[in-house]
Structure 1
Amino acid sequence: MRRPIQRQLLLPMLFVVLACVAVASVAGAWTGARFAREQERDNLRRLASTLADAGFPLTENVLRQMAGLSGADFVVLSDSGDVVRSTIALAQEEAVTLKGLDERSDPFRQGSDETVTLATKRYLAARLPVRTAAPRGVSQSLCVLVPEEHWNRVARRAAWPPIFAGLIAAVVAVGLTSLLARRFTQPIRQLSEQATAIAAGRFTSTPLPTTDDELRDLTASLNRMSEQLGHYEEQVRRSERLRTLGQLGAGIAHQLRNSATGARLALEFHAAEVPSTVDRESLDVALRQLDLMETSLKRFLRLGRGEQVPTAEVSLGKLIEET
């Protein structure tokens, strides 16, 4: 199965980067959600303590305003468990459920959460005594009810920014990793195309990459090889042309030799028929020139066949006289 280098480079780096981004995003989301919940706990704890220690009556209007500000519901119970004031409608058995909550002077501490279900809705609940706002001789308690949906919404609101930032970082990481992988694979693809062209007999050169690295060295080596192969091809072609010309010249020389031999024989027959009293100097010169021509053609034929031509020392003056 073919595995491109781009995929081999991209997938491991991308896996590591995305894993780091995912871990960082999850850790940031978890930390943000936990911090938001702790901050919400502190706000509710301060609000509950303020209402419990308030020097003003906890009227229904006051409770509703506090509920609008905090997102929690409030219920004031009498010592007997009756609902004195409430921001939500409660049945008698639900009031009994609230009466069963433990009174805490410092509510909403980590690990001390109590949950109740009122009208099919789950709440984180805390009950604390009302110290100053209750009439004299009357013991009252304040129940603070935080819907679990509100609690989860606070956590989600704090967790989404790190997750969203992680998604953006993942997209950026994918883009940068793809560009980085392409930066390595594109020169390799160009080198592959150049090698294919060289194999097909096209000895072209590829522009050198701007970055001085191993890929640049490899490109330079391929360019040198392509240039040398081009020179070798030119030399082979020149040798082939010379060999072809030599063969053609040998054929022509052979034909000329045959013609010269025929002419020599004709002159010799003619010389045999001429009386000895006649001046034969012109015939002797013609025969001597034909001998020289045959000698030159024999040398040319040996050269065309690639035979070793024998060499010998001769007198330059004699050679000039003969030619």
Structure 2
Amino acid sequence: MSFSIGHRLFLSVLLAILAVAASAVYLLRQNVLASFGDYAVGIELDRLDELSGALAARYRTRGGWQFLPAGDERRGWIAAELARLQDLRQRRADAPPPAPAPPAEPVALVPPAPLDGAVPPAPPAPPAPPAPPMIPLPPPRLDAPRADGITHDLHQRVTLLDADGRYLAGRIPGALPQARRPIAVNGRTVGYLGVARSPRPSDAMALAFLEQLRGSLWLIVAAAVALSALAAVLLARHFRQPIRQLAAGAGALAGGRYEVRLPAARSDELGELARHFNALAQQLESAEGARRQWVADTSHELRTPLAVLRAQLEAVQDGVRSATPDTLDAMLRQVLALNKLIDELYALARADVGALDCKPVPLDLWAFATTHAQGFAARLQAAGLALDTGPAPARSLVLADPDRLRQVLDNLFENSLRYTAAGGRISLHARDEATQLRLVIDDSAPGVPGEALGRLAERFYRVDASRSRAHGGAGLGLALCRRLLEAQGGSLSFAHSPLGGLRVTLSLPLAGDAA
């Protein structure tokens, strides 16, 4: 069963929003409980205003707290005083209001006769009827029910303290936190009324409040689902398009269409992935082009000697040419050229798969190279070329395969001999640098164009100007030299020679026990 990215994003966003909503509800509950606790204690202290006033009046009358009972009677005195005040309040509320006095009979007063024609004053207005008595409100309850059904009476949690905070009456202070309200007489604090907070004094009110929010929680859940779906759709659309493009591009690469490219304008990880994909497609396209070129060049190089050999054999067979030693030598040269080409292709193929057989041994590279160069002395002299050798380096012991190294030097000297103009020079010198020994072969003009230096070790590559195929060779020698040296931990590089031709630098790591 497939699970798309859109579904995954939807579930992820939904779970995140639900987690946030659950955390918000939990924090709301905790804050509501704490806030209701403070609010409830404040209300309870307000209910004790009457007791506070009564205590202040008695303190003012007696001049101190001497009116309080002694001993254990103090513990129940506050509860008894609250009950007395409540009973007094109840009696006042139940007493009938006093009957209003009957209005007096109005006495008719004879206004005095006006003097000198003045206007007599108006009679006084009758008195207004008395206001109806106020109906007393019922006293507030002194107990607060808890959520577990237990009732904590307020009068059992009240403590009377003196101005220094010492116990006077009521509940003995314990571990529960206590809220205080001062008792003032003539502007001076003479004591405190404290109310002990129960562990959860406001659960009933808080849970009732939260119960009213239960219906809203379903709306919060529905809104969370809707927002999750909307966010998931937007995020999925944001990410799904480049992923689909990447999947389509990968399918195109798998089908051999290496020219495919992806838009890489994004600045996030998907944009970076698209750029890497384009680089991979470029490399695959280049590799495919090189492979096709390799097949074409190999076929061409194999076809040339075979075509010459076939033409000569057909000429002998038809009697056009006789099987003279010269004819046989010409055919043998074609066979040897074909055999060399096949050997080079085979060696390159083995090097590509890492199966090239190399047996490195400690070897004095400078002595080996100079001895090998002397073997070309006769051919160089015949071509009108001079050979110069430099001084021996301080260290020249390397780990190399003599047979593979001889093959490399054969190709390098053969290349210089073939492409250096008559009357030129070939120079051989070496230098040791840190852990490397560098063997340098310079030849004189003609040189190699700068743009061709980086391609000299490519297979079947030949410089079309001075170093053309007219001098022979299939363009595999330098490529084979580089792969043979790389298989032994070395390298091959090309540069312009101070003599006007090509400089070839052969580098191999020095042996560990070299002096």
* TM-score under structure 2 length normalisation: 0.28
Higher-helix-fraction structure: 1
* TM-score under structure 1 length normalisation: 0.42
Larger relative contact order (Cα-Cα within 8 Å, sequence gap ≥ 6)? 1
